[in-house]
């Protein structure tokens, strides 16, 4: 088994902004190597005997399966912890939960609504905390995205990624990820649904170091023009289901369809973090079309998450 450097051992994985360009590139390298070994049937139990606690305040398909299967393939064990399974769902403080779990586990993955809960958990825990998604950020998703783009494009620096839709947690992490690796990112959102201005400002500072350009526009056609990657997500994120009918009206012009895709480069690839509302933010024709790498992207969540765990735990 190849040797994993200890440069990130014990470190929390909360935001892509927290890591250097070199550290992110190393994550992608480890993810690619782990994927190669998995495909070739080469055992890689680098976390043998270790245990990951998975706190899920939000339901999940890809995140849960990627972490649970990934931990198994790395030789360790994962425990699924819903609010009904632990006392945090009955009022135990995050501080006490962190202090107790730190004495029994080797790492914690948390998927929740409030980003401050992850920060508080990390403050009190003495073991690595992995952010599996909050309403503010979705960093583990974007490591898988960068891995997918690199597989299909061979590089990241200098590419243009157009994100079409709500300026949500995925958009925020794409801004951070693009800025760190030198990839241009354009977010196209209707007025009132742009990414958080503070996130954009922080990402802009990172971008000055790598030469990436970041922009937020209202026109989806402007964003898609000459793009190497076209990315979309559901218009109403988890917990916003009551807003879906209203958002559908406001986002009608933001559908990724064959007409919009035709504005991108001929060899552009299409990404979607899933789950998809087919016929809403993306058409079947595009999602199932030859430029779609959506299911490569979904698979790479497994390999990317394994890399994150192997490096931090």
Separation CA 167–CA 233 (nearest Å): 10
Q: Which tokens sit at 54?
A: 């998975």
Among candidate residues 111, 115, 272, 303, the one labeled active-site is 111
Neighbours of 49 (CB within 10 A): 9
Q: Which of 73, 106, 115, 141 is catalytic?
A: 141
Decide if 301 is catalytic: yes
Active-site residue, selected from the candidate residues 115, 228, 233, 305: 233
Separation between Cα atoms, residue 248 and residue 245, nearest integer Å = 5
Other C-beta atoms closer than 10 Å to the C-beta of 70 total: 25
| Residue 220 CB contacts under 8 Å (≥ 6 apart), including other chains | 162, 164, 188, 253, 254, 260
Cα Rg, the chain, nearest whole Å: 19
Instruction: Write down the catalytic residue from 17, 44, 57, 273.
Output: 273
Which residue, among 227, 240, 234, has the nearest Cα to 282 in the 3D structure?
234
β-strand partners of 282: 256, 278
114 is catalytic: no
Q: Which of 44, 115, 138, 305 is catalytic?
A: 138
Bridge pairing between strands 229-232 and 269-272: parallel
- For the chain, how many residues are written? 313
Q: Would you state the structure tokens that stand for residue 130, as one six-digit string? A: 């992995």
Q: Which of 282, 290, 287 is nearest to 266 (CA)?
A: 290
Catalytic status, residue 111: yes
**CA pair distance 156, 139, nearest whole angstrom:** 17
Q: Which of the residues 17, 272, 301, 305 is marked catalytic?
A: 301
Is 233 one of the annotated active-site residues of the chain? yes
Residues recognised as catalytic? 111, 138, 141, 233, 273, 301
């Amino acid at each position: 088994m190849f040797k994993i450097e200890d440069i990130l051992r014990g470190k929390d994985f909360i935001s892509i902004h927290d890591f250097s360009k070199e550290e992110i590139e190393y994550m992608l390298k480890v993810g690619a190597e782990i994927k190669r070994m998995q495909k070739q049937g080469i055992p890689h139990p680098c976390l043998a005997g270790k245990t990951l606690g998975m706190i899920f305040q939000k339901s999940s398909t890809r995140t849960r399966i990627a972490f649970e299967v990934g931990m198994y393939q790395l030789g360790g064990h994962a425990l699924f912890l819903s609010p009904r399974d632990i006392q945090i769902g009955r009022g135990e403080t995050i501080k006490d939960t962190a202090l107790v779990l730190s004495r029994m586990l080797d790492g914690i993955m948390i998927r929740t609504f409030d980003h401050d809960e992850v920060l508080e958990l990390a403050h009190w825990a003495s073991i690595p905390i992995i952010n599996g998604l909050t309403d503010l950020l979705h960093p583990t998703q974007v490591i898988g995205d960068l891995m997918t783009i690199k597989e299909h494009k061979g590089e990241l620096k200098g590419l243009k990624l157009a994100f079409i839709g709500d300026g949500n947690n995925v958009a925020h992490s794409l801004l951070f990820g693009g800025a760190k690796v030198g990839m241009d990112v354009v977010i196209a959102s209707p007025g009132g649904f742009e990414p958080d201005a503070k996130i954009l400002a922080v990402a802009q500072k990172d971008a000055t170091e790598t030469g990436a350009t970041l922009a937020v526009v209202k026109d989806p056609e402007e964003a898609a023009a000459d793009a190497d990657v076209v990315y979309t997500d559901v218009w109403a994120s988890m917990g916003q289901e009551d807003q879906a009918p209203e958002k559908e009206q406001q986002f009608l012009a933001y559908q990724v369809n064959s007409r919009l895709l035709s504005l991108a480069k001929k060899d552009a690839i299409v990404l979607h973090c899933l789950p998809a509302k087919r016929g809403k933010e993306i058409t079947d024709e595009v999602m199932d079309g030859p430029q779609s790498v959506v299911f490569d992207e979904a698979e790479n969540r497994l390999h990317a998450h394994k890399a994150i765990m192997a490096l931090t735990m």
